[in-house]
Amino acid sequence: MADEGKISRAMAKAGAADKLSPQSQGQKPLMPSPGQAPQRRPAQDIPTLRRVAAGSSALDPLVVTVHERAGEAASQIRAVRARLLAMPGAPRVIVITSATREEGKSTMAMNLAVALGEVDPGRIVLVDGDVHAPKVPALAGIDAISGLDDILRDGLDLNDNVYETSVPRVDIIPARSDEIADDRNGPPDQQGLLARHCAPLFAKLRTLYSFVIVDTPPVLASPEACMFGRHSDGVILIARLEKTSREAVKRAADELTKSGATVIGCVLTDRKHHVPDFIYRMFFGRTSGYYYYHYRRKGTPAARRSDSGTGLVKK
């Protein structure tokens, strides 16, 4: 009887805990403990979403995780992915930004979304939050007739505003539709809409996607980066080697931190100093790309490589 009483009391406590759980109260769930993988919702619990089918246009050549899968740049991006997944309570909503323009943030965001889609069975969405100079649709090879602006104005309705890409399980939310593409300043109320709806938008995307990657305007050029960053799990700063000053990067990091965002790392692009392939051929008889391809085909873990640069700077 004593054992039965203990079991009854334990079940009663469990029921009370369920009633008071953050998920049942509509709050943001707690981050997993260190070493624990982020929780995934069962497939049958994920709501359906009406997406715009992928067109016939090809991905931009800068999407090296597709076009040059065995290359050094793709390897470096996968190293960034590995470090993100190894973090305690791996971030699911990740903002990619930079201090100034032409640092390579949009290219990094697109490649990281593809890289995450290679290892996660769920879906990945890349949100183009740079309404002033959107680059993601061109990288993904899609023609957008609706975008983030429509979602923010229409009560966060994602149906027909999310675009499939030619990469399996990777979706795109464009920054804006082609109808307002000539407006260099974007919609006049964009910042107000974002301030009101960013948090609920991210909450909705969390129920649909394993990872949400957000490409934003540069921190020092527009406040949207801080707005997105404040409601994300972490921000990655992109800096172009030998172009971006330390002062600009420090100022951008300070702005993000003051806004409530968490900067989880910095990636340098346009690295010029690396081991050329001819040295690999001279000493090993193979190129560096061959070794990555070889280990991937054999199913053994690829060697950890430095993320000190990706060489991606055009977009």
Longest CA pairwise span in the chain (Å): 78
How much of the chain, in percent, has pLDDT values that exceed 70? 66
User: Per-residue confidence at 232, pLDDT binned at 50, 70, 90?
Assistant: very high
How much is the pLDDT for 57?
79
Residue 175 has pLDDT above 80, yes or no: yes
* Residue 166 covered by a domain: yes
How much of the chain, in percent, has pLDDT values that exceed 90? 51
How much is the pLDDT for 224?
93
Residue 306 has pLDDT above 80, yes or no: no
* Residue 311 covered by a domain: no
* Residue 245 covered by a domain: yes
Contact 89, 38 (CB under 8 A): yes
* Residue 64 covered by a domain: no
**Domain extent at residue 250:** 87-274
User: 184: buried, middle or exposed (CB in 10 Å: 19+, 13-18, 0-12)?
Assistant: exposed
* Residue 250 covered by a domain: yes
Number of domains composing the chain? 1
Tell me which of 87 and 315 has the higher pLDDT.
Answer: 87
With residues binned 3-state (H G I as helix, E B as strand, rest as coil), the percentages for the chain, rounded to 5, are 40, 10, 50
CATH number for 151: 3.40.50.300
How much is the pLDDT for 128?
96
How much is the pLDDT for 282?
45
Residue 238 has pLDDT above 50, yes or no: yes
The secondary structure of residue 272, as a DSSP letter, is -
CA distances for 226 relative to 110, 248, 293, angstroms = 20, 15, 38
* Residue 152 covered by a domain: yes
How much is the pLDDT for 274?
53
* Residue 265 covered by a domain: yes
Mean pLDDT for all residues in the chain: 77
Contact 99, 240 (CB under 8 A): no
* Residue 54 covered by a domain: no
